[in-house]
Amino acid sequence: MIKNMIDSRVVLYAIFITSLCDAAKILAVFPTAIPSHYILGNALLRGLANAGHDVTMLSPFTEKNPPKNCSWRDIVLTGVIDQQQENIKMLTKYQWLGQYSSLTALIVPFMGAYTSEKILNHTNVQKLMRSGEKFDVVIVGQFHSEATKAFSNLFDAHLILFSSIGTNSMLNHLVGNPSLPSFAPEFMSSFPPKMSFLQRVQNTIYRFMISSVLHLYAYSANDKMVKKYFPSPFDQLDLKDALYNVSLVLLNSHLSISSAIPYVPCMIDIGGFHVKPPKKLPNDLQVFLDSAKEGVIYMSLGSNIKSKDLPPECKTAILNTFSKLKLKVLWKWEDDVMPGQPTNVKIGKWLPQQDILAHPNVKLFITQGGLLSTIETVYRGVPIIAIPFFGDQQMNAYSAEKAGYGIVLLSKDLSEESLTSVIEEILNNPKYTDEAKRRSKIINDRQVSPIDNAVYWVEYVVRHNGAKHLRVQYLDLAWYQYYLLDVFAFLLAVAITS
């Protein structure tokens, strides 16, 4: 009798819960063939799938191991990877620009428009667009394929943006986030948050350039693609309706790695959400790391740059430096053999980076300064030497240096002497490790885990039918009204005439 009562209560409770949080149908659009972007999109979508939502991933990659108990579908942009990786290689050629190489960010909107066309014209995407299928939410990885934001109108869904690099001026104006060039350094500069006069002048010019590219080229080019590739009647859509109709922005950033800046209510920080609790290491690595009494240097240049393809003089300099060290070195090396491999160096084609960084004997991480690596190293409290190559790596590298948990070593300056001296500086001066550990404490001090927070906010948008109450009303002001130019002009006119 009592058992029956409990059973029926459990059933009732179960019905109550499922009716409270219906599974949402979620489409994620991560069309860039940059592995780190995909890894982030994938981690976000996994979190949502695990929470019981029905997810579809549109990207150039296939998930080989989709979560078993969940509803996961891949729509693969076949044939896009090679092409895009050529573009990425092209960007590495601009290193000679040095501090200014971040200016290559200006090329990105053009690459984005090119990508948009490739995506919208793709057979698998055309099939989806013409299927009549609807979604509750469309999550777009913010990387300039602006046209895909109009999927929200096509699929009758709420639009959520995901930014892998935190706030930036290509995103802020879409949701009205305050970011005057006086205090918000451009994504492509390596300026500190507190800029000198000349830096503010440069920063304002950068902002002007980026805004011009977006407004004079990117948005209209993408709008044309909506009109060309969307099925009727959606080919009549105005892309601007989608661009400025964002329900939520999930930001892959955190105060432990970026400086304190304002966020409008629809912006939510989930930086570190892709980092998993440490797992057991493979046996050989466990033994290698455990036995390194003097400590270990972990080196990996990420997924775009291959260590084995470094210029021979760089490789020689690194090997000579490592061979003199008392420490052991674990190096992500994409080949079976390493010519001249010193005895204290162990290589691996693929290494479980997050778990390695969690090992207490790891004293230093030599990285290209990729975003994921930067977050993972802060999460685990390991200082870095950053050898940046392209894209945001330079910015991340300099920001780690300014933050005090890393040192930048440009590949053109890399020699046996320079590398030895920065390794000694980091290992002998405790301030770098202390700063990494201090930041690690901050990123790990969260009310809820960042992935649970992301899931909560996506569900919040669905529960509140787009959560338009999060949208700041001043987004509807014209730019001259926002900057009070009309008011100043009026006051000036009054002052002059009276």
Ligand X SMILES: *[C@@H]1O[C@H](CO)[C@@H](O)[C@H](O)[C@H]1NC(C)=O
Residue number, 158 or 274, with CB nearest to ligand X? 158
Residue number, 246 or 384, with CB nearest to ligand X? 246
Residue number, 4 or 69, with CB nearest to ligand X? 69
Which residues have C-beta within 8 Å of that of residue 381, sequence separation ≥ 6?
A: 433, 436, 437, 439, 440, 441
264: contact with ligand X by CB under 6 A: no
In whole angstroms, the minimum distance from the beta carbon of 59 to ligand X comes to 21
In whole angstroms, the minimum distance from the beta carbon of 227 to ligand X comes to 16
- Exactly one of 36, 163, 172, 245 binds ligand X (CB under 6 A); that residue is 245
Residue number, 242 or 325, with CB nearest to ligand X? 242
472: contact with ligand X by CB under 6 A: no
Which of these ranges, 65-73, 204-212, 334-342, 371-379, lies near ligand X under the rule CB under 6 A? 65-73
CA 163 to chain centre: 6
158: contact with ligand X by CB under 6 A: yes
Kindly identify the residues of this chain, within the stretch 277-296, that bind ligand X according to CB under 6 A.
none
Which of these ranges, 63-71, 198-206, 250-258, 276-284, lies near ligand X under the rule CB under 6 A? 63-71
In whole angstroms, the minimum distance from the beta carbon of 18 to ligand X comes to 12
Cis peptide upstream of residue 450 (ω within 30 degrees of 0): no
d(CA 297, CA 290): 13
247: contact with ligand X by CB under 6 A: yes
In whole angstroms, the minimum distance from the beta carbon of 69 to ligand X comes to 4
Contact 159, 171 (CB under 8 A): no
52: contact with ligand X by CB under 6 A: yes
In whole angstroms, the minimum distance from the beta carbon of 253 to ligand X comes to 24
70: contact with ligand X by CB under 6 A: yes
148: contact with ligand X by CB under 6 A: no
In whole angstroms, the minimum distance from the beta carbon of 319 to ligand X comes to 43
Residue number, 280 or 469, with CB nearest to ligand X? 469
Which of these ranges, 40-48, 133-141, 241-249, 490-498, lies near ligand X under the rule CB under 6 A? 241-249
In whole angstroms, the minimum distance from the beta carbon of 354 to ligand X comes to 18
66: contact with ligand X by CB under 6 A: no
354: contact with ligand X by CB under 6 A: no
**Nearest residue to ligand X, using CB?**
466
Residue number, 18 or 62, with CB nearest to ligand X? 18
In whole angstroms, the minimum distance from the beta carbon of 459 to ligand X comes to 13
153: contact with ligand X by CB under 6 A: yes
Contact 61, 79 (CB under 8 A): no
In whole angstroms, the minimum distance from the beta carbon of 329 to ligand X comes to 35
Question: Which token pair is 110?
Answer: 């053009």
Which of these ranges, 10-18, 29-37, 62-70, 420-428, lies near ligand X under the rule CB under 6 A? 62-70
Provide the β-strand partners of residue 269. 251
Kindly identify the residues of this chain, within the stretch 188-217, that bind ligand X according to CB under 6 A.
none
449: contact with ligand X by CB under 6 A: no
Residue number, 225 or 319, with CB nearest to ligand X? 225
d(CA 337, CA 217): 48
Residue number, 154 or 345, with CB nearest to ligand X? 154
- Exactly one of 31, 302, 388, 466 binds ligand X (CB under 6 A); that residue is 466
- Exactly one of 22, 50, 220, 433 binds ligand X (CB under 6 A); that residue is 50
Binding site for ligand X (CB under 6 A): 50, 52, 67, 69-70, 153, 158, 241, 245, 247, 466
